């Protein structure tokens, strides 16, 4: 997972997201002055029963250069954060001396995983699940607002297709958002499956936890079927671009439910 070798949860085929090594390589490339910063994501997966889902977003904050880790644990039944979460950690570092930012980030992530251990154990997060569709921000040839996925990973040509569609829409600007960066936007997210379409999210205003969002993309679709035949649980990860200190920052939202 990173240079201190904190153990990754045993997520079967959930190895989506950029590795820390890849992130370091990208950080070494020249970037514009107003670059912003996009979080990386590590899926901690579902509980074996499908009742809960968890993921971590992490990176080095633009502007401050401080490493951060945010761990989200979601009750799938009502698509809400488990009490006491998210667990957010931002560690100040002294950059007056040479720093190994990979090591600093590794320490921050390890400390936050330790802080989250109790809630992850209580909710039974076990790394269960399958990533069946993935559209990262680096993908330029696909539609960021549309995703079609098979729900039978072992035989993807069989079964019904899930269609996810996202619509961006202007919403009233929160008083805390600066002007001059573009419209503050909400989203409407729908899921169509077996002839039925339902609304997963439909913003009329922006929750404070999102900051000042400018754009959204459907980043991945994760499913878990605890028993067959039986219900399938899902998580949709949406990548949100919001106003940051030096440019747009990328952060993740998860919408969960049952097919």
Tell me: the pLDDT tens digits for 34-58?
A: 467 999 999 999 999 999 999 999 9
Residue 7 covered by a domain? no
Look up residue 66 and give its two tokens. Answer: 């401080």
How many structural domains compose the chain? 1
Residue 5 covered by a domain? no
**Strand 130-134 relative to strand 80-81, pairing:** unpaired
Look up residue 65 and give its two tokens. Answer: 């250069």
Residues 51-92 pLDDT 10s: 999 999 999 998 888 999 999 999 999 999 999 999 999 999
pLDDT of residue 125: 98
pLDDT for residue 120 is more than 60: yes
Residue 162 covered by a domain? yes
pLDDT of residue 98: 83
Question: Quick one: residue 65, left, alpha or beta (phi over 0 = left, psi -120 to 50 = alpha)?
Answer: left
Strand ranges across the sheet with 161-170 = 146-150, 161-170, 185-193, 196-202
Residue 55 covered by a domain? yes
pLDDT of residue 25: 37
pLDDT of residue 114: 98
Residue 50 covered by a domain? yes
- Phi then psi for residue 24, to 5 deg, are -65, -40
Residues 4-37 pLDDT 10s: 333 333 343 343 333 333 333 333 333 344 467 9
Structural domain for 89, as ranges: 20-258
pLDDT of residue 35: 64
Q: How high is the mean pLDDT of the chain?
A: 86
- Phi then psi for residue 226, to 5 deg, are -60, -40
Residue 113 covered by a domain? yes
Residues 145-196 pLDDT 10s: 999 999 988 888 888 899 999 999 989 877 888 888 888 999 999 999 999 9
Residue 59 covered by a domain? yes
Residue 82 covered by a domain? yes
Look up residue 24 and give its two tokens. Answer: 């370091």
Look up residue 87 and give its two tokens. Answer: 């667990």
Give Dmax (Cα) for the chain: 60
């Amino acid at each position: 997972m990173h240079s201190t070798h904190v153990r990754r949860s045993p997520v079967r085929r959930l190895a989506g997201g950029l590795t820390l090594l890849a992130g370091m390589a990208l950080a070494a490339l020249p970037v514009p002055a107003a670059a912003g910063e996009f979080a990386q994501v590590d899926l901690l997966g579902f509980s074996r029963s499908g009742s809960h889902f968890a993921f971590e977003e992490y990176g080095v904050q633009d502007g401050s250069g401080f490493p951060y880790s945010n761990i989200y644990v979601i009750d799938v039944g009502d698509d809400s954060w488990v009490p006491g979460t998210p667990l957010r950690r931002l560690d100040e570092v002294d950059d007056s001396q040479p720093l190994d930012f990979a090591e600093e980030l590794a320490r921050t992530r390890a400390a936050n995983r330790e802080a989250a251990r109790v809630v992850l154990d209580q909710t039974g997060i076990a790394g269960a699940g399958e990533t069946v569709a993935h559209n990262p921000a680096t993908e330029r040839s696909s539609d960021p607002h549309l995703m079609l996925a098979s729900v039978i990973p072992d035989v993807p040509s069989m079964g019904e297709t899930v269609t996810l569609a996202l619509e961006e829409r202007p919403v009233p600007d929160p008083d805390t958002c600066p002007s001059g960066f573009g419209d503050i936007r909400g989203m409407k997210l729908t899921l169509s499956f077996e002839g039925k379409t339902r609304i997963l999210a439909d913003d009329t205003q922006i929750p404070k936890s999102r900051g000042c969002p400018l754009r959204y993309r459907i980043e991945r679709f994760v499913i878990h079927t605890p028993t067959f035949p039986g219900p399938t649980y899902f998580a949709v990860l949406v990548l949100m671009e919001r106003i940051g200190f030096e440019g747009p920052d990328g952060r993740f939202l998860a919408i969960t439910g049952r097919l």
